[in-house]
Structure 1
Amino acid sequence: MLIAFNKPYGVLSQFTDRSVPPRPTLATFGLPPGVYAAGRLDADSEGLLLLTDDGPLAHRLSDPRHKQPKTYWVQVEGSPTDDMLARLRAGVMLNDGPTLPAEATLLPPPALWPRDPPVRFRKTVPDAWIALTITEGRNRQVRRMTAAVGLPTLRLVRVAVGPHRIEGLAPGTWRKIG
């Protein structure tokens, strides 16, 4: 079984949390028993999280050796230049080594659900949206990549993993896709 879930902002990509006070987890969304996340999204990231009860499928979806493309819509602080986008496309140097080349394009502001809490708006600082597709899955990689080219991430929404897309899923809802 494969499930597409639209993970809301602030929710952990796991079913339990031992911190005090506990943070919101996947356990509150009525997901079928026996499924677990194939990959992760940080608590402060939103969007498509795939869950499965099939170990080999989870491995194929999340292991970087299988190079599943993951597409993110990234709201960044600043105005991306052609040079900044070219650097993202070529791969950037992070503290744990260079990233693989990525697809990076400017994106008109997408029609997304409101985030709670909302992204802080500042009249004097422009922001923009980038569609960024990577084939790796390092810890906080997209945020570190945009920061490395001078564009701090304000909001991060994963919209696709391989052929699986988030269209039609409101935050906190899910559907079986396999």
Structure 2
Amino acid sequence: MSSSPSLATEDSVTSKRSSIGLQMVCNADCVISNVVAKWPGSVHDSRIFRASEIYQCLSQGEFSGVLLGDRGYGCQPFLLTPFTDPQEAPQAYNHAHARTRARVEMTFGLLKARFHCLHKLRVSPVRACDITVACAVLHNVACLRKERAPRVPPAMDWDNLAIFPDDDSGQLLRDQYVLNYFS
């Protein structure tokens, strides 16, 4: 599962007393493959994801594979989430899921450490979104050039409860992963 891309959203940019909801998809090398920066920070993670182009492409089967998301998302056939009350086999799945998901949180941390301006932008929300996307692109350039990464603070707690319900087919696929790889 360590090669699966992970999805995360975060109120990562503050601009003139408003926060911007940021959604990123990245891989285990902390390279960002998708970024959405246009929503107010008050919008829930699942809402941002459901309105995104990547959600549309995944739900219509245009991309193969799965994303890993935290409990803020409903389990879907293309978005696997942790078990809320794991038994013996799912505990190993949840552990592998959390280790892989930590890469996304590390990517947020690297992005903020690399570009301190993202902690507090004093520009309009629209401009803050543009700056955030530009920083994500420059972050990818730094990763691909193997630039030395800045020191990242410890990870924050990102494992919140789901607001959107799980999809039965998503749960079946997650159960199949547990049977195939964690039993």
Same fold, judged at TM 0.5 (above): no
Q: Return the TM-score normalized by structure 2.
A: 0.21
The structure, 1 or 2, with the larger RCO (C-alpha pairs under 8 Å, 6+ apart) is 1
Relative to total residues, which structure has the larger helix share, 1 or 2?
A: 2
